[in-house]
Chains A and B, each alone.
Chain A
Amino acid sequence: MIGITNYSVYVPRRRMRRDMIAAAWGGPAMPGSKAVANFDEDSLTMAQSAAWPLAQSGGAEALSFASTTSPYWQRSAASLIAAACDLPAQTSTADFGGSLRAGATALRAAFDAVAAGSARTALVTAADCRDGAPESAEEMLFGDAAAALAVGRDGLCAELVASVSRSDDFPDEWRRDTDAHVRSFASKYSLARGYTENVVAVGRALFAKAGVQPEQIARVALGSSDGRAHLAAAKALGIPPARVEDVRAGDIGITGAAMPLFLLAQALDRAQPGDLILAIAYSDGTDGFLFRSLDVGRRLRQDGSAMEYPTYQIYRKLRDYWRAAAGGAEISNVLLRREETQNVRLHGSACPQCGTLQFPIAQVCRACHHRGGMIEKNLARRGRLFTFTKDFLYSGPVEPTVMAVVDLEGGGRFLCQMTDVEPAAVEIGMEVELVLRRMREGPGDHYYYWKCRPV
């Protein structure tokens, strides 16, 4: 029996109200807000944030990253995510892209790997951070988010009953290698011939393959490009809207390659033991799955804190920040490689004599000056603020830059920037978590490092 052993989602805390976007350009507003990656977030960091709790609790022999907005054309985001999740070098990593279906395709590949025995456990991450062109419908519609699913054989929270795939080169939405923004034929024809036809065909194929009737389906995780079409497709499959997962268009947005996995995680979280869950992802073809829920008490972590951008201009400035901020010197790969365990894996040294955990990695103990035998140890990603400043001199994209000295749970003191925070809320003693963020933009590369943010 193979299936899903755990799930996690990540939604950035920044929100952009759609009526503000509408007011900036003039014209009608879509309802609600969309979730927006902070200036220091991208698909890679969001996927790492989603994957971290799963990697931490269960490890993984394989890790994949699926996105249409990887920060790299060439360089495996999955490999960096695996390192930041402190997974070992033997981990099989893969990047999936090219289609909004990439997350579901990666999930299918993970099931295949576990079924074939090439990996006992696999972690699938999917994230998208699509920038709708200014003044376009997509600018209002698109939101940023990530999801992660752990696949394996033991400790399942949902068993895979059947899967069906379909390929269909139908050009309804695409982005060329030279395009910054999505292009599409948004029409009734596109919806009928592309989305609905594919979803219904794969849904029916799954019913037939598993020998189930539509009435038996308890929850449906169905991605949607407009926030509406999924309800019509479910109806065509004979499933009433009450059983269809809310795609969260109103408060998060259309989240691209992350959406199918995000909705599946949401469905798993709400399912009762024994429930049948239908999950279908469409784009350039279709991947569909049927699961049976086996409750093992997993629950999504709820992050209720949201920070609204006060103006459209600030949203737009931060959205484009890294494009303009290509300064600084290149960092040699000699240094980057030597410090990977410390800076990416976030290891410190524990003294074999006095036990003091310290960062950065050291050969001589900071506390008792003992030399030798230092034990490399993963630092906790949580702690409390020991002291701070709010700095207006540093040239960051937002003022002030909050600098934090953090006492980590289980030992070690860390210095980093604080992000996702209203400066007025900063106080000594507050609980924070460490998150991987895009730290600096060199002339030729992105540099990732850790920041903290309020829990």
Chain B
Amino acid sequence: MAGSIKDQVAIIGVGCTKFGDNFDQSFEDLLVEAGFAAFADARIEPERVEAAWLGTFSPYAGNGKASVSLADALRLYGKPITRVENYCATGTDAFRNAAMAVASGMYDVALVAGAEKLKDRPVRGLGWENGHPYQHDGLTAPGVFAMAANRYFHCFGAGREALAKVSVKNHHNGAMNPKAHFQMEVSEAQVLNAPIVAWPFGLFDCCPTTDGAAAAVICRADMARQFRDDYVLVKGLGLAVTSGRPWYDSANDYVGFAATRAASEQAYSMAGIRNPVAEIDLAEVHDCFTWTEISNYEDLGFCRKGEGPHFIGEGRSALSGDLPVNPSGGLKSFGHPIGASGVRMIYEVATQLRGQAGARQVRDAELGLVHNLGGPGSVACVIVLGRP
């Protein structure tokens, strides 16, 4: 029986760089900006941090490999630092490990940082790294999710028009977010007429490859008031892993992600959530591709399998809807520097719960959800955050 760390860990500071094509910033520059922003937000000196977790997916050009990448950037020497890599759930899993360490009583104050520098590389999109040398040749990140989307369409009859609505919504939200990679509205026609990347996904169905970093300072909940009154509490969290080779599993229906279902069950159970759509006020979910967001609605229990297209179609996930999803603009508009994204979502939900999200503020936000989905839908991490 899994234990609970509900209300034992508090977020007391968050920081985030502008996401985008940050050609003039190095991996360390990104970490410095996000890390010191989080220190400033928590009103602490870096020395106050007793342990740190770095989430980064893909080491490149000497950065992102092991814990030293964070130690050298922030000059955090002589302290325990752990690098976490868990596909696109890297950032949230780094946070999860830090939260459990603080809840254990081992550390009072810890830092979680996520960073990714993708735009230094010569490849288009996200390379399929360290896979089998030829078994999976031809697979790309959009291709992996597109295979699921096509099966979903085959089973439930929805089409690209439903996907376009997700893109329009997330671009609309992102247009109100100065840190987002893209701050521009798009029309359904634009989305539908864009060049195809991997059928059924066109250019505007895909999140971009992005540079960025985000950080959070956490502490024991009973200490949080020493730092600020509007801290944010960890209400629940869960991580679940399914096969990294879902295409070989004859039992896989290919219309959703069991990892998300299992991770959200863990997190809801800890947080005491019985009716997610009624209880959760906003959600930052993993919209790597527009269809992924539709599947997320279903896998996270916001609606039943097959009803995701209606959930978006009826505007329920819009900023004005009953469960705003991706008020930040999501991966689609905010960008997706892999290891940074989960921590960036935590940054957004904390900002919303503190009532500091400006034009994109969700009214009366008390409880927020963060969701990452990694690999070919194989690694899901769900974190529920709430006001004290």
Whether A360 contacts B248 by the Cβ 8 Å rule is yes
For residue A453, CB closer than 8 A to chain B, the reply is: no
Interchain CA distance A161-B248 in the complex, whole Å: 51
Residues of A within 8 A of B150 (CB): 387-389, 428
Q: Tell me which residues from 141 to 162 in chain B have a Cβ below 8 Å from any Cβ of chain A.
A: 142-143, 146-148, 150-151, 154
Whether B148 contacts A393 by the Cβ 8 Å rule is no
Kindly identify which residue among B146, B151, B245, B252 contacts A391, using a CB–CB cutoff of 8 Å: B146
Residues of B within 8 A of A393 (CB): 124-125, 140, 142-143, 197-198
For the complex formed, measure the closest distance between the CB of A290 and the CB atoms of chain B, giving whole angstroms: 46
What per-residue 1/0 map shows which CB atoms of A372-404 lie under 8 Å from chain B?
Answer: 000000000000001111111111100011010
For residue B60, CB closer than 8 A to chain A, the reply is: no
Residues of A within 8 A of B198 (CB): 389-393, 400
What per-residue 1/0 map shows which CB atoms of B184-196 lie under 8 Å from chain A?
Answer: 0000000000011
Residues of B within 8 A of A356 (CB): 250
Whether B138 contacts A396 by the Cβ 8 Å rule is yes
For the complex formed, measure the closest distance between the CB of B376 and the CB atoms of chain A, giving whole angstroms: 10
Q: Who on chain A is nearest to B206 by CB?
A: A393
Whether B248 contacts A403 by the Cβ 8 Å rule is no
For the complex formed, measure the closest distance between the CB of B208 and the CB atoms of chain A, giving whole angstroms: 13
Residues of A within 8 A of B133 (CB): 328-329, 331, 335, 440, 447
What per-residue 1/0 map shows which CB atoms of A424-455 lie under 8 Å from chain B?
Answer: 00001000000000011000000101000000
Residues of A within 8 A of B136 (CB): 415
Interchain CA distance A384-B136 in the complex, whole Å: 19
For residue B77, CB closer than 8 A to chain A, the reply is: no
Interchain CA distance A428-B156 in the complex, whole Å: 14
**Stretch of A23-31, A59-67, A405-413 contacting B (4+ beta carbons < 8 Å):** A405-413
Residues of B within 8 A of A411 (CB): 250
Whether A394 contacts B248 by the Cβ 8 Å rule is no
Known: A391-B198, A393-B143. A439 touches B137 (CB 8 A): yes
Kindly identify which residue among B142, B196, B250 contacts A413, using a CB–CB cutoff of 8 Å: B250
Q: Tell me which residues from 191 to 231 in chain B have a Cβ below 8 Å from any Cβ of chain A.
A: 195-199
Known: A359-B248, A360-B248, A413-B250. A428 touches B151 (CB 8 A): yes
Interchain CA distance A338-B147 in the complex, whole Å: 30
For the complex formed, measure the closest distance between the CB of A44 and the CB atoms of chain B, giving whole angstroms: 16
For residue A366, CB closer than 8 A to chain B, the reply is: yes
Q: Who on chain B is nearest to A359 by CB?
A: B248
Known: A388-B147, A389-B146. A366 touches B134 (CB 8 A): no
Interchain CA distance A394-B199 in the complex, whole Å: 12
Kindly identify which residue among A391, A412, A428, A440 contacts B134, using a CB–CB cutoff of 8 Å: A440
Interchain CA distance A413-B250 in the complex, whole Å: 5
For residue B251, CB closer than 8 A to chain A, the reply is: yes
Known: A391-B198, A393-B125. A386 touches B248 (CB 8 A): no
Whether A366 contacts B243 by the Cβ 8 Å rule is yes
For the complex formed, measure the closest distance between the CB of B361 and the CB atoms of chain A, giving whole angstroms: 36
For the complex formed, measure the closest distance between the CB of B344 and the CB atoms of chain A, giving whole angstroms: 24
For residue A224, CB closer than 8 A to chain B, the reply is: no
Whether A415 contacts B134 by the Cβ 8 Å rule is no
Whether B154 contacts A428 by the Cβ 8 Å rule is yes
Residues of A within 8 A of B147 (CB): 387-389, 403, 405
Interchain CA distance A275-B124 in the complex, whole Å: 62
Known: A387-B148, A403-B147, A417-B138. A392 touches B196 (CB 8 A): yes
For residue A343, CB closer than 8 A to chain B, the reply is: yes
For residue B139, CB closer than 8 A to chain A, the reply is: yes
Whether B143 contacts A403 by the Cβ 8 Å rule is yes
Q: Who on chain B is nearest to A423 by CB?
A: B199
Whether B250 contacts A401 by the Cβ 8 Å rule is no
Interchain CA distance A366-B246 in the complex, whole Å: 11
What per-residue 1/0 map shows which CB atoms of B150-178 lie under 8 Å from chain A?
Answer: 11001000000000000000000000000
For residue B314, CB closer than 8 A to chain A, the reply is: no
Residues of A within 8 A of B196 (CB): 390, 392, 400
Residues of B within 8 A of A395 (CB): 124
For residue A236, CB closer than 8 A to chain B, the reply is: no
Known: A413-B249, A449-B134. A390 touches B142 (CB 8 A): no
Residues of B within 8 A of A392 (CB): 195-198
Q: Who on chain B is nearest to A343 by CB?
A: B135
Whether B154 contacts A387 by the Cβ 8 Å rule is yes
Residues of B within 8 A of A366 (CB): 243, 248-249, 251
For residue B268, CB closer than 8 A to chain A, the reply is: no
For residue B254, CB closer than 8 A to chain A, the reply is: yes
For residue A414, CB closer than 8 A to chain B, the reply is: yes
Some 22 contacts from A to B, beta carbons below 8 A apart, are: A328-B133, A343-B135, A356-B250, A367-B251, A387-B254, A389-B147, A389-B198, A390-B196, A390-B198, A390-B199, A391-B139, A391-B142, A391-B146, A393-B125, A396-B138, A401-B143, A403-B143, A413-B247, A415-B247, A417-B137, A440-B133, A447-B133
* Extra inter-chain contacts (5) besides given A388-B147, A428-B150, CB under 8 Å: A367-B250, A390-B196, A392-B198, A439-B134, A449-B137
Which residues of A are at the interface with B, using a C-beta cutoff of 8 A? Answer: 328-329, 331, 335, 343, 356, 358-360, 366-367, 386-396, 400-401, 403, 405, 407, 411-415, 417, 428, 439-440, 447, 449
